[in-house]
Structure 1
Amino acid sequence: MHTLRNFWRLARPFWLSEQKYPALLLLVATVLMTLCLVGINILTNFWNLHFYNALQDKDYQGFILGGLQFILLQIGTATFTVAAFHFQQKLTLRWRRWATRNMLDQWLDSQRYQKMKLTGADVDNPDQRIAEDIDLFIVKSLKLSLGLLTSVVSLFSFLHILWQASGLVSIPFAGQSVVIPGLLVWIALVYALLGTGFAFWLGRALPRLNFMQQRREADFRFSLMRLRENADSVAQYRGETVENLRFNQRLEAALENFWALVKKQKLVMGYSTFYLRSATVIPMFIMAPQFFAGAFSLGRLTQISAAFGEVHAAIAYLVEVFPELSEWKSVIDRLVGFQERLDSVEVESKVIVGQQSKGFHIKDLDIWLPNGRRLLTGFNLSLQPGDSLLINAPSGYGKSTLIRAITGLWPHASGSTAFDRERTLTLSQKPYLPLGSLREALWYPHPPHHEKDTALRLAMQQVGLQHLSEHLDQELDWAQTLSIGELQRCAFVRALMTRPELLFLDESSSALDSVNEARCYQLLKQTLPESILISVGHNASLEHFHWQVLELQSESQWEYRKANVGDAACQSRGDYSAIED
């Protein structure tokens, strides 16, 4: 029941969404085609009666007629099978598109993808859960539910045939022949229930092993991706031996779990194969005495045997699909875990980020760690258009965390800030360049303006990237193609083109030499004279490009002063604790 509740928790949003009516039509069409297939099976059961009677009676005309009927039944089977597949796949496509977009929206909304890393243990491999687990969940859910529907309908359709056939079986008892009503039905029921229970006992570890297999396969794949993304660094460290060892460790973990899974699957597979196939001969042995006594024909025996098989298969459906059922449960567990993590993320920052078109203000800003330890208390700041501030401190003093708190990305903070949120840009130490053309990467996160290509090429030339100006339409993994210095200069081009009112530079020139750093900052001051610049860094050279300095010192101290002015010009002091970068 717990798994069914989790299933409905995942499925319910789609079936209550704006897609519910077209999805319901597709589901009804799929169910109708499935019921038609059950009808074909019932007709085939009666065909067995007449065809094998014709063989027993050596009725050639009946044999030919049975052959033609068989062809028509196969055409019907093929038609309804293809139609059911068509409607089921269309429903799968519509459901997956909606479910994937819905989960992507939740993941991206309010920067959950980033805050999940800051507010507790991150979920392993969210990319797999969104890209693969959603697809598996939908495919398995439709397949298992339609299979269950087919089994239930088949059960009640063939029960009548089997119940009537039970009247032909008499058991000698105390010198008399006793007929037990529905004997074959009860035998099928008991056989199926016992077999199903034993199959579940044999495969009780499969859901856990499937869950672990998906995780370990994803971990192995992710480690390979990490090498590709950091190929230059690994090559410079000559870390191939260590990386190879890590790959092999993760591969072995996946293969060990895979083999444990195979051993369990072998037990379930061997048992279920014997169990399901043996059901076809049970009614023949039960009815053999009456058949050889001439109580009924070969066709009747074949019909009863087929009906018994259908009833037994319907009751034992869970045995047949148990491996898939365990995989389905593990997929549900993974998706529910991801959904619960998304729901638990504290998306609303305690820092009130207000909107104003001009200027930048911080009031009563407090920052603390997740355990409640205070890091910064009662910080206030006011900057006007054209002002510039350098936040200076050695590495590890939390300069980047201060920027996160100001912009509302650090959940462990309170107070208020006010600035033009729509026209704010942050340049990080390692800029992000998305997949696509270089033009799209330079304009990110805004759509490219082709009519401004002349200005774009000029900006690239000014920062020393003129050699890339002829590759604006080329699509590459630019983040891996360019050096870190080129990436940082691309970020400066992005700032020059988007012209933000407020620009955060989080060690965004750390990979540049002094000449290029000075050139980029001078371009910002000349091109964006009314923009507010807030830089984070520990290089003394940056002070020349800013009016004011916030200096984070050791032992919980901070100092706010005018740039290039001695201690006598110190304006204010306060408590500060080291914040992790």
Structure 2
Amino acid sequence: MKQFNKEVFKDAWHLIKPYWVSKEKKTAYILLAAIIFLNLAIVFINVLFNLWYKEFYNALQEFNEKAFWIALGQFTALAFFYIISAVYSLYLNQMLQIKWRKWLTDEFLNKWMDKKIYYHLQVFNHQTDNPDQRISEDLNMFISQSLGLSLGLLSSVVTLFSFISILWIVSGPLHLSVFGFLITIPGYMVWAALIYAIFGTWITAVIGRPLIPLNFNQQRFEADFRFNLVRIRENSESVALYSGEEKEHGHLMRKFADIFENYWKIMVRQKKLTWFTSGYNQIAIIFPILVAAPRFFAKKIQLGGLMQIAQAFGQVQTSLSYIVNSYTALANWHAVADRLRTFEHNIQSIKALQSINNNIKYKPSDYLLSVKNLSIMLPDNKTYLIKNLNFELKPTQSLLIVGPSGIGKSTLIRTIAGLWPFGDGEIELPQKEKTLFLPQKPYLPIGTLRDILIYPNGDPSTDNEVLKELLISLNLKYLSKHLLDVNMWSQVLSLGEQQYIAFGRIFLQKPDWIFMDEATSALDEKSERLLYMRLFKELPQSACLSVGHRSSLLNYHKIKLSLLGEGNWSLEPIKKSDSAKISYLKEEFA
């Protein structure tokens, strides 16, 4: 990260290549070819401008009015075609950028969300900060900068070869007498431009190299700060109840201090770089005139020839000084490419972690949930949460998982869902379309209440009246008027109301297999009882697996799985003395 290295460019190529061999490659190559053609046209027009300089300034020197107006007419035509080329070059470049970004964003989202990698990156890999920023911002910057820098390099190379011969011819030879020897340097302005550019590139690299890690860190610090702002917005009620504004303000300012300090370092470094590049580019304006002035005053060239030399020198020098003029952009590109490549490497490391550690075999099943010889471990692969667990759950059956906090109850649910990779054994699991998992804090996507109730497997064509009646039956009558309102409902609704919504998904989507991880923890026991009894009545063939601490949950399940610690467990039917209320509750509900 401290310098431009082959590894970064190699990984950057792996990011660039897939789009250019994808199904969209035909459109991409047509757009790229058009952009290159327009860029070459701009270079050609600049060559014609160079020839125009000679005619125009010679006309001025000779007070030739007719030639002056002819030259203005030529300028108008050249400027017209230059403007057209510049406008459509930009337009087509942006078109290619957005098409490429759409494709690459889709690819990264697939990689990020495949096999629950987005979850595992957050839980098991702490090196990938802010994946949202890498996908939304870094991809955009990487594409735009890759196109801009590569097309800029192409233009610089073409410009160099277009003008170097012109500069060689118009500058002529330079005769020097050194210790009595006559030395002739043909095309001396070309050598002057080359030496000038090499010197400038070396100094720029020395001054600007620290910008690479600084820009990398700036991206990270900005994303961290934004993430913490979003966290406060998402948890505004909790912060307000704790009266934690002062603490949060202090925390945010400490995060911003990282931005401030790093940006200050960037400012200082860019100031040094700008001191040099500004002086370098300003000297480049007068340098060719100073060098060519003796020939002009010796009347070996006219004013037009002098201006042509200056303009040609400027084009050659600018082409040779590509790194000098683009160093800040190159440093930004390097930082962005580094963030994307580390993101992709971390995704690959998670895939490797999944394949190495996950010896749990998942098999599809239509009629039961079967767990055979299942062992679950912590990420150290040494500490057992559960050893050799065996049980079956069939339709109409209900299982309650109990045990002290932190003993592995939720981890067992995660393992059944395919989220926890550390363990071995075999799980036969119904298809995901037939299952519904309810975490303690339900996920409510941003959108309408209709969208939330249908999420994830509901019928999109469900009538609104059905949804309104469902809300009313869940004691959420006031929400039935807001069914089509878009809101951040996770902040508007209390946790208890959110858990009602989660049960609403059960009654609406009618899954055959229901997995609940403390899904009624925020509800009172009466509400919990009514929801479970409604579940018995409306989905009598569905199987239910619950995690919870309340003893009242024994009333609604037939089997109890107790986790005892150090991998031990016990499985037993719930005794009649524990569940004597069940028949009464069923009668009362009926």
Scaled by the length of structure 1, what TM-score is found? 0.95
* Alpha-carbon separation, structure 2, partners of 1:408 and 1:543: 27
Aligned partner of 1:409 in structure 2 is 419
Percent identity among equivalent residues? 40
* Alpha-carbon separation, structure 1, partners of 2:266 and 2:418: 45
- Taking a change above 3 Å as real, the CA distance of residues 513 and 277 of structure 1, as seen in their structure-2 partners, is same
Structure 1 position 351 matched with structure 2 position 360: yes
Alpha-carbon shift at residue 100 of structure 1 (Å): 0.5
Structure 2 unaligned segments of length 5 or more: list them. 1-5, 579-590
* Alpha-carbon separation, structure 2, partners of 1:556 and 1:3: 45
* Alpha-carbon separation, structure 2, partners of 1:28 and 1:180: 40
* Alpha-carbon separation, structure 2, partners of 1:441 and 1:351: 32
SS in 2 for 1:538: coil
Paired residues of 2:173 and 2:188 also in contact (CA < 8 A): no
Paired residues of 1:463 and 1:516 also in contact (CA < 8 A): no
* Alpha-carbon separation, structure 2, partners of 1:95 and 1:543: 56
> Which string of whole-angstrom CA distances, capped at 9 and with x for unpartnered residues, describes residues 18-72 of structure 1?
1111100000000000000001110000001000000111101111111111122
Letter in structure 2 aligned against 1:547: K
* Alpha-carbon separation, structure 2, partners of 1:62 and 1:170: 34
Aligned partner of 1:577 in structure 2 is none
Structure 1 position 47 matched with structure 2 position 52: yes
Select between 521-530 and 547-556 the one with higher mean Cα deviation.
547-556
Aligned partner of 1:574 in structure 2 is none
Structure 1 position 444 matched with structure 2 position 458: no
Aligned partner of 1:493 in structure 2 is 504
* Alpha-carbon separation, structure 1, partners of 2:199 and 2:68: 40
Aligned partner of 2:271 in structure 1 is 266
From 356, 375, 382, the equivalent of 1:366 is 375
* Alpha-carbon separation, structure 1, partners of 2:381 and 2:491: 39
Letter in structure 2 aligned against 1:507: E
Select between 68-77 and 214-223 the one with higher mean Cα deviation.
68-77
Alpha-carbon shift at residue 512 of structure 1 (Å): 0.1
Letter in structure 1 aligned against 2:240: A
Letter in structure 2 aligned against 1:52: Y
SS in 1 for 2:515: strand
Paired residues of 2:387 and 2:568 also in contact (CA < 8 A): no
Number of matched residues? 567
Structure 1 position 98 matched with structure 2 position 103: yes
Aligned partner of 2:388 in structure 1 is 378
Paired residues of 1:440 and 1:447 also in contact (CA < 8 A): no
- Taking a change above 3 Å as real, the CA distance of residues 357 and 454 of structure 1, as seen in their structure-2 partners, is farther
* Alpha-carbon separation, structure 1, partners of 2:481 and 2:117: 37
Aligned partner of 2:397 in structure 1 is 387
* Alpha-carbon separation, structure 2, partners of 1:537 and 1:90: 54
Aligned partner of 2:519 in structure 1 is 508
- Pairing of 1:66-465 with structure 2 (within 5 A): 66-121=71-126, 123-173=128-178, 178-346=183-351, 347=354, 349-373=358-382, 374-421=384-431, 422-446=433-457, 448-465=459-476
Aligned partner of 1:525 in structure 2 is 536
Alpha-carbon shift at residue 268 of structure 1 (Å): 0.7
* Alpha-carbon separation, structure 2, partners of 1:449 and 1:104: 24
Letter in structure 2 aligned against 1:392: V
* Alpha-carbon separation, structure 1, partners of 2:251 and 2:459: 41
SS in 1 for 2:174: coil
Paired residues of 2:173 and 2:187 also in contact (CA < 8 A): no
Aligned partner of 1:576 in structure 2 is none
SS in 2 for 1:395: coil
Letter in structure 1 aligned against 2:303: L
Paired residues of 2:197 and 2:320 also in contact (CA < 8 A): yes
Paired residues of 2:58 and 2:304 also in contact (CA < 8 A): yes
Letter in structure 2 aligned against 1:527: E
Select between 273-282 and 310-319 the one with higher mean Cα deviation.
273-282
Alpha-carbon shift at residue 450 of structure 1 (Å): 3.8
Paired residues of 2:173 and 2:185 also in contact (CA < 8 A): no
Letter in structure 1 aligned against 2:553: L
Select between 405-414 and 53-62 the one with higher mean Cα deviation.
405-414
* Alpha-carbon separation, structure 1, partners of 2:244 and 2:120: 31
Aligned partner of 2:583 in structure 1 is none
- Taking a change above 3 Å as real, the CA distance of residues 35 and 222 of structure 1, as seen in their structure-2 partners, is same
Letter in structure 1 aligned against 2:385: L
Paired residues of 1:358 and 1:385 also in contact (CA < 8 A): yes
Paired residues of 1:166 and 1:180 also in contact (CA < 8 A): no
* Alpha-carbon separation, structure 2, partners of 1:120 and 1:316: 42
Paired residues of 1:358 and 1:501 also in contact (CA < 8 A): no
* Alpha-carbon separation, structure 2, partners of 1:538 and 1:565: 19
Letter in structure 2 aligned against 1:316: S
Alpha-carbon shift at residue 452 of structure 1 (Å): 4.1
Letter in structure 2 aligned against 1:372: N
* Alpha-carbon separation, structure 2, partners of 1:322 and 1:418: 57
Scaled by the length of structure 2, what TM-score is found? 0.94
Letter in structure 2 aligned against 1:33: L
> Which string of whole-angstrom CA distances, capped at 9 and with x for unpartnered residues, describes residues 189-212 of structure 1?
111011101100001100100000
SS in 1 for 2:212: helix
Structure 1 position 63 matched with structure 2 position 68: yes
Alpha-carbon shift at residue 413 of structure 1 (Å): 1.6
SS in 1 for 2:40: helix
Letter in structure 2 aligned against 1:550: L
Letter in structure 2 aligned against 1:73: L
Structure 1 position 479 matched with structure 2 position 484: no
Alpha-carbon shift at residue 456 of structure 1 (Å): 3.0
* Alpha-carbon separation, structure 1, partners of 2:180 and 2:458: 92
Alpha-carbon shift at residue 460 of structure 1 (Å): 2.3
Question: What is the root-mean-square deviation in Å for CA atoms of aligned residues?
Answer: 1.6
Structure 1 unaligned segments of length 5 or more: list them. 568-581
- Taking a change above 3 Å as real, the CA distance of residues 447 and 14 of structure 1, as seen in their structure-2 partners, is farther
* Alpha-carbon separation, structure 2, partners of 1:441 and 1:274: 60
> Which string of whole-angstrom CA distances, capped at 9 and with x for unpartnered residues, describes residues 143-170 of structure 1?
1111111100010001101111342533
- Pairing of 1:12-27 with structure 2 (within 5 A): 12-27=17-32
Alpha-carbon shift at residue 447 of structure 1 (Å): 5.1
Aligned partner of 2:582 in structure 1 is none
